[in-house]
Amino acid sequence: MRADRSFPWHSRLLGLLLALGIHAAWADDLKDILQRGELRHLGVPYANFVTGSGDGLDVELMQQFAHHLGVRYVPVETTWEDAIGDLTGKEIRYAPTLRQVGTRPVRGDVIANGMTILEPRRKFVDFSDPTFPSAVWLLARPDSKATPIRPSGSLEQDIQATKAMLKLGTTFVMDNSCLDPTLYDLEGKGFRLKRFTNSTNLNDLVPAMLKRESDMTLLDVPDVLTALERWPGQIKVIGPVSGEQRMAAAFRKDSPALREAFNHFLAHIKQNGTYMQLVDKYFRSAPRYLPIFFRDIPRRD
């Protein structure tokens, strides 16, 4: 899919900087990328955001963004554990919470792989405008004693009903991620929570559950939608554990001009219908499950 060449990014960015009175030194982050002639996209293979085969929703977003900037797109594979450090140059330790313990080489300019906006991450990165909606749901194998809840019309009641199902088996969780049990008040409630330590790749949770390493797992909605297509009939959705969340691209805190340029690019492709073409390509059922986010985004005729 070719990007819309009509987007006058240089003029818009210049106008933005002048309007906000941003000092020229603040634009060095974008100037460096233009001078280097490449945008380094840090991506963790995850769901249909970064498939690991050279495509994905966030891959195409960043490819088109690089095209608009007039620079080369450079993919840089990373891991959930290393991504923030590879972006910021800070060695991050994840236990018991995110904290800096040293420095490391910077390997990329932006993280985009379905990263959920979480408060602990804001200490180290600045997020773009939302690129995709999410939420955390509970999944189980078909033979699990847990059964799908009956929607009540109240999200809070549905969440409480879903949490009650956690008593019926072991449940995979993952610390310092969107599946961290502390985010959803699950600790100390008598639930049999099982820290997933096989890897830091969220794609590995469902296969491990299907191997009977756990009865259930927390999972965010984009990965749920991918899993339902990949393993039809082998998993069942029990219900929500959270309200709606947001995913976004992550930038260094000293890259405000690059982040603003991406926000303007994102707004443009949402308005001209390009964004919804990508959603239909990689997450065609997402608007049905998370309609509020997509309600006012136009489609291309």
Residue count (the chain): 301
Q: In this predicted model, what pLDDT tens digit does every residue of 234-262 receive, in sequence order? A: 999 999 999 999 999 999 999 999 999 99
Query: CA of 253: how far to CAs of 18, 41, 117, 124, 264, in Å?
Result: 20, 16, 15, 7, 18
Under the banding of pLDDT at 50, 70 and 90, the label for residue 301 is low
As a whole number of angstroms, the distance between CA 28 and CA 98 comes to 28
136-240 — its CATH code?
3.40.190.10
Q: pTM for the complete prediction? A: 0.84
Angle at CA of residue 15, ends 9 and 20, nearest 5°: 125
Percent of the chain residues topping a pLDDT of 90 = 77
Q: In this predicted model, what pLDDT tens digit does every residue of 97-137 receive, in sequence order? A: 778 888 899 999 999 999 999 998 999 999 999 999 999 99
CB atoms within 10 A of CB 70: 10
Indicate the average pLDDT of the chain: 89
Tokens in use for 154? 């109240």
Q: In this predicted model, what pLDDT tens digit does every residue of 264-273 receive, in sequence order? A: 999 999 999 9
Query: CA of 10: how far to CAs of 25, 145, 255, in Å?
Result: 17, 57, 17
Q: What residues are paired with 43 via a beta bridge?
A: 77
Higher pLDDT pick, 24 / 76: 76
Q: Residue 245: which residues within 8 A CB-CB, separation 6 or more? A: 116, 117, 133, 134, 135, 136, 178, 220
As a whole number of angstroms, the distance between CA 31 and CA 34 comes to 5
The predicted pLDDT at position 16 comes to 52
Q: Which of 5-19, 63-77, 140-154, 199-213 has the weakest average pLDDT? A: 5-19
Amino acid occupying residue 191: F
Question: Mean pLDDT over residues 57-61, rounded?
Answer: 98
Residue 300: pLDDT above 80?
no
Q: Where are the domains of the chain?
A: 9-133+245-294, 136-240
Question: Mean pLDDT over residues 157-162, rounded?
Answer: 97
The predicted pLDDT at position 29 comes to 86
Under the banding of pLDDT at 50, 70 and 90, the label for residue 10 is very low
Decide which of 3.40.190.10, 3.30.465.10, 2.40.30.10, 3.50.50.60 is the CATH code for 9-133+245-294. 3.40.190.10
